[in-house]
Amino acid sequence: MIRVGIVGIGGYGARLIQLLREAAAEMDVRLVAAADARLADLADKAAELESRGVALFDDAFEMFRQCRRRCEAVYLATSIPTHSVLTIAAATAGYHVHLEKPPAVTVQEMDQMIQVLEQNARLCLVGFQGVHSACMAFLRQRAAEGRLGRIKTLVCRAGAPRDRAYYARNSWAGRLRAHDTWVLDGPATNALSHQITNMLLLAGDGVRQYARPAAVRAELYAAGPVESHDTAAIEIHTIEGPRLYWLGSHCTRGAFGPVIDIEAEEARAVWHVGSEATITYADGSQETCPGDSGHREMIRNFVEAVAAGDGSCLRCTPADARQFVLALDGAHESSGRVHRIDAACCRRVDEGTDKARTVVEGLDELICAAAERRGLGGPAAFDRGGVPLFSQVTPKPPWAVATHPYRLAGYNFFTQRFTCD
C-alpha cells in the first residue's frame, strides 16, 4: 500500500483528490493526509476528507513533520511561487514528490530541486499529464520505429480565453513576480505549458528522452490588465534538430486547440490534444489514435515508481522538465520584456462582470495564419523554412515587435537580459 498526502485541496488539488480516489479502486494507493492554509475557507472539502479518515493540517510543513511514518509520498498542488520550497522541504523530510506543473520558472530553482532530490534519494514526477496520454505513446512509438522519418518541425496553436475571474482567483495570476519570487505566469508558462513539454518529448530521441533547447526566439505580449504575457509566439531550436513553435494566447476571440502539427520526412501528424492524433504517411495511408487526458496513467506512473523504488520509469522527472523551464527562461530573455499591445488594437467584452476579458482584434486569424505559414490575406508569405512569429506575418500587426534568438549554451541563471519595466 502506497500512502500519500496532498498539499492544496482546492483548485486542481480537488481534481487530484478525485483521481486518487478513482485510482484506489485499481491501484494500491490511499490518501491519508491533506494540508491547506485555507482549510477554514474550504470547509466542505475538508469535512468530506475528514469523513474518509484523512488527517487534516493547515500547515504543509507540519504535515511533513507529523506524517513521516504514515505516508511515503506527497502531491503538491499549490501556487507556482511555492513549488520549489515545498519540493525541497518534502524531499528533505523523506517524501517522494508528485509536483504540479510548472515545476518552477527559473533554471536555478530547478537545479536546486534536482540536487536536493538526488541527495535524499527521493523520486519526483512533474505533473504534465499529456506525456502520459495514449496519443503521446502512439506518436512516440511510431517515431521510434522510424515510420515518421526525421521530424523537422512541430507547431502548436491554441486560443484559450481567460476572464477577470481567472486572474482574480489568486494573488499571483498574471504576475511576473510575487514579492521576491519569479512567477512569470502566462499561457506559455502555465495554462498551455503542457504543449511545450509535449513537443519537447515528441522532438526527443528515443521513447522517453526530451529534446534539449539550444536557442529560443520569442515575442511575449500583454494585452489585458496583467504584468506577464497573455499572448506569445515562441520558436525553440533543439540540439536534436527539430524546431518547435508555440503560438497561443489568453486574448483570442474564441477558444481553439491546442493542436500540435508534426512535419516529418515520411509523414505528417496532427494531434488534437485531448481528442485524437492522426498520422498521414507519404503513401497516403493513415492511422488514428483516440485521445485521453493522460491523468489516470500519470497517477499510475507515480504510484508504480514509488512502489518499486525505481524512478527510471517516470515519464517526466525534474531533469526532464528542466528542458521546459530552460526554454521558457530563454523565451523571456529573447523577448527582453513583455511588450504591450496598444489598447487601440483591443476590445473589452462582458465588461462589468466576472467574465470581462480582453480580445485582441484579428488575433485568432493571426495565430492560425502563422501556424499555417501564410499571410493574413491567405497566400504564402514566409519562406525561410520555418514558421513565422507574429512580427513576420504579412501584413505585420501594428503591435508586433521583432526579436532575436537567445542562445542557451551554459545557461544556468534567470535573468540575464529580461526586464520588468
pLDDT tens-digit readout, 318-355: 999 999 999 999 999 999 999 999 999 999 999 999 99
- CA separation for the pair 391, 370 (Å, rounded): 10
Give the pTM.
0.97
**Domains annotated on the chain, with CATH:** 2-128 (3.40.50.720), 131-291+317-407 (3.30.360.10)
Burial level of 66, CB count in 10 A (0-12/13-18/19+)? Answer: middle
The DSSP-derived string for 196-241 is HHHHHHHTSSTTTPPP-EEEEEEEEEE-SS-SS-SEEEEEEEETTS
Residue bearing cell 475538508 = 46
The DSSP-derived string for 318-349 is HHHHHHHHHHHHHHHHHH-SPEEPPGGGEEEE
Please check whether residue 233 is in contact with residue 247, taking contact to mean a CB–CB distance below 8 angstroms.
Answer: yes
CA distances from 164 to 182, 349, 355 (A): 22, 11, 6
In this structure, how many other beta carbons lie within 10 angstroms of the beta carbon of residue 310?
A: 11
- CA separation for the pair 185, 178 (Å, rounded): 10
pLDDT in tens, the chain (421 residues): 999 999 999 999 999 999 999 999 899 999 999 999 999 999 999 999 999 999 999 999 999 999 999 999 999 999 999 999 999 999 999 999 999 999 999 999 999 999 999 999 999 999 999 999 999 999 999 999 999 999 999 999 999 999 999 999 999 999 999 999 999 999 999 999 999 999 999 999 876 799 999 999 999 999 999 999 999 999 999 999 999 999 999 999 999 999 999 999 999 999 999 999 999 999 999 999 999 999 999 999 999 999 999 999 999 999 999 999 999 999 999 999 999 999 999 999 999 999 999 999 999 999 999 999 987 876 554 445 689 999 999 999 999 999 999 999 999 999 999 999 7
Cα-based angle 236, 166, 390 (whole degrees, multiple of 5): 30
Q: CA dihedral defined by 137, 73, 195, 227, rounded to 10 degrees? A: 180
pLDDT of residue 384: 57
pLDDT of residue 377: 72
Which residues, in sequence order, are CB contacts of 150 under 8 Å at separation 6+? Answer: 241, 264, 265
In this structure, how many other beta carbons lie within 10 angstroms of the beta carbon of residue 22?
A: 13
Please check whether residue 412 is in contact with residue 111, taking contact to mean a CB–CB distance below 8 angstroms.
Answer: yes
Which residues, in sequence order, are CB contacts of 156 under 8 Å at separation 6+? Answer: 192, 195, 196, 198, 199, 244, 245, 246, 247, 248, 257, 258, 259, 260, 261, 371
pLDDT of residue 380: 53
pLDDT of residue 379: 58
* Span 345-392, pLDDT tens digits: 999 999 999 999 999 999 999 999 999 998 787 655 444 568 999 999
pLDDT of residue 385: 62
First to last CA, the chain: 51
Q: Whose CA is closest to 185, among 141, 220, 139? A: 220
- CA separation for the pair 47, 418 (Å, rounded): 45
Which residues, in sequence order, are CB contacts of 201 under 8 Å at separation 6+? Answer: 131, 136, 140, 208, 209, 210, 211, 316, 320
**Peptide bond before 415: cis, by omega within 30 degrees of 0?**
yes
pLDDT of residue 376: 83
pLDDT of residue 378: 64
